[in-house]
Amino acid sequence: MNNINIPYQQTGYFSKLIIDYLDGNEKLKPFYNQNCDIESFATIIEQRKQFPINRTILVDVLTQQYKDVDISEATKSSIQHLNNSNCFTVTTGHQLNLFTGPLYFIYKIITTINLAKELKVKYQDNDFVPVYWMATEDHDFEEINHFNLFKKRYELAKTQTGAVGKMKLDGVEELMLEIKKELGDRNETNEILEIFSNYYLSEKTFTSAIKGIVNQLFGKYGLVIIDGDDALLKQLFMPEFKSELLERKNHQLINSTSEKLKKLGYKPQVSPREINIFYLKDNLRERIVFEENKYKVMNTTIEFSENEILEELTSHPERFSPNAPMRCLYQEKVLPNLAYIGGGGELAYWLQLKELFNSNNISFPTLVLRNSVLFIDKASNTKLQKLTIEPTELFQDTETLIKNQLKKCSTTALDLKIEEQLVAAVFEGITKKAGAIDQSLQPFVAAELQKSIKAIKNIETRLIKAEKKKHEDAINQIMNIKEKLFPSNGLQERHDNIISLLLYDRTIIDELIEKLPPLKKEFVILLE
């Protein structure tokens, strides 16, 4: 498999904020700690040592959480290394998407694994553990209940409420049969779906399913999977929970940073609440608000006085669930973490959080943009070669690709810009003559020029249309390739599922590990 790397700027799919961050733009420096390059990690490691964590509890929790999992020797070793003060983590987080969801989740995990490997090569006196933090406490079921495979959407209906991690996979066997029927009864299909069928059973939860499949796919690389929905871990975060409930100042810190980013022309990603905590119990996950001197749980009759909610926090820390900004704090409080690996949207909201971290005296991680990938299968690659289209050209819009193709194929110039310029030159002379006779004639001449230009553009459109008809097959191929590789004009990685890549190549994950450098800051095109 060959690869081509191109700068993110050239793709047109990344925000100005992320491009400026990757370029090291000076105006963004106040919003993060260190540059995202291998040399900067020397400083990052030293800084992180100033923020010790409770490694005993962390290792105990992970050991307990892996009790019913077929743990690899590499992951077992990773967990044991976490006992040592010279061991650090690099972390990504993600929702519990059905069947792993879109491809970019897989790329996040791979970037995390590869960053840990690269750090170990550079800083051999330390150990580095790749971590996947499962967002088990989210309640946005509609964001995780589906995935796309070969232009078809598969989804589970909602039958439960509360945190998604505790939800059972009702109806997943029927979904599996639907996928098998669609893909056909072939050995390759059955082998791949068998991997998923071991974990996607209706009696299992979203948490156990995603943990099982991710462990199956990545356990041999030493990946550690952690569930933050844990009473012991939340006990470590009790001072921050208490401060959020009583002082309610964190939202002001985030808003202050957001205003600074706005003034620089960037759009903030996250809007914090006065209290950034949910109440989590049984099938319930609802926001806590402070109203009329009471702590109330939204959409319920549950309420607490100050003493009552502090007593509840002490007795049941597991019932308090952080939202997005607080979860970032929580994660960095319990892990010896150096870097967070995320997509453009995630890094954008992390850039709003530095003041929050400073105020709470918690180490702010280095922000690493996950790898982005376009996978071009053999059939599509062959067609591109016949059309003499370079893979990097695919980031242009479809109409531009077609116009460029017509220019290559046509024996007649379809662009009438020269003719436009000649007509404009003629009218310039007419305008001067008209002005010499009567100044009031000049607007009339200008209007006639515009009519002539419009007529030329109409002729150009007709020429292109006629040429398109002559090259209909090539145009249809371009449109089909674009739709296949950029579904609905979006990135492939935000739509397609890992099953599609596994069907092309059972060893694809090993190959991705080889081909995705974590700190290169370039978009990767893979050619089968």
Read off the pLDDT of residues 267-298 as tens digits, 9 standing for 90 and up. 999 999 999 999 999 889 999 999 999 999 99
Indicate the domain borders of the chain: 2-161+206-230+324-372+507-527, 382-490
Percent of the chain with pLDDT over 90: 79
pLDDT score at 382: 96
3-state secondary structure of 325: helix
Read off the pLDDT of residues 378-421 as tens digits, 9 standing for 90 and up. 999 999 999 999 999 999 999 999 888 877 766 555 567 788 88
When the pLDDT of each residue in the chain is averaged and rounded to a whole number, the result is 93
Closest of 285, 366, 292 to residue 323, by C-alpha = 285
Mean pLDDT of 222-241: 98
Q: State in Å, rounded, how far the first CA of the chain is from the last one.
A: 5
Are the C-beta atoms of 366 and 89 separated by less than 8 Å? no
**Pairing between strand 277-281 and 320-322?**
antiparallel
With the C-alpha atoms ordered 480, 483, 486, 489, is the resulting torsion angle positive or negative?
positive
C-alpha angle 336-338-340 in degrees, rounded to nearest 5: 110
CA distance 238 to 387: 61
pLDDT score at 264: 97
Please enumerate in sequence order all residues whose Cβ is within 8 A of that of 257, keeping only pairs 6 or more positions apart, or say none.
Answer: 31, 351, 352, 353, 354, 355, 356
Q: Has residue 467 got a pLDDT over 70?
A: no
3-state secondary structure of 31: helix
Q: Has residue 360 got a pLDDT over 60?
A: yes
C-alpha angle 284-98-208 in degrees, rounded to nearest 5: 65
pLDDT score at 62: 98
pLDDT score at 13: 96
DSSP string, 145-166: SEEEETTEEEEPPP---S-GGG
Mean pLDDT of 480-501: 96
Read off the pLDDT of residues 139-173 as tens digits, 9 standing for 90 and up. 889 999 999 999 899 999 998 998 999 999 999 99
Read off the pLDDT of residues 97-107 as tens digits, 9 standing for 90 and up. 999 999 999 99
Q: Has residue 331 got a pLDDT over 90?
A: yes
Percent of the chain with pLDDT over 70: 98
Are the C-beta atoms of 525 and 392 separated by less than 8 Å? yes
pLDDT score at 408: 76
The enclosing H or E element of 48 equals helix 41-48
DSSP string, 480-492: HHHHHHSGGGS-G
Backbone φ, ψ for residue 336 (5° rounding): -80, 65
pLDDT score at 46: 96
The enclosing H or E element of 386 equals helix 378-386
pLDDT score at 413: 59
pLDDT score at 89: 99
Read off the pLDDT of residues 86-98 as tens digits, 9 standing for 90 and up. 999 999 999 999 9
The enclosing H or E element of 316 equals none
Task: Name the E strands within 353-433.
Answer: 366-369, 373-376
Read off the pLDDT of residues 111-122 as tens digits, 9 standing for 90 and up. 999 999 999 999
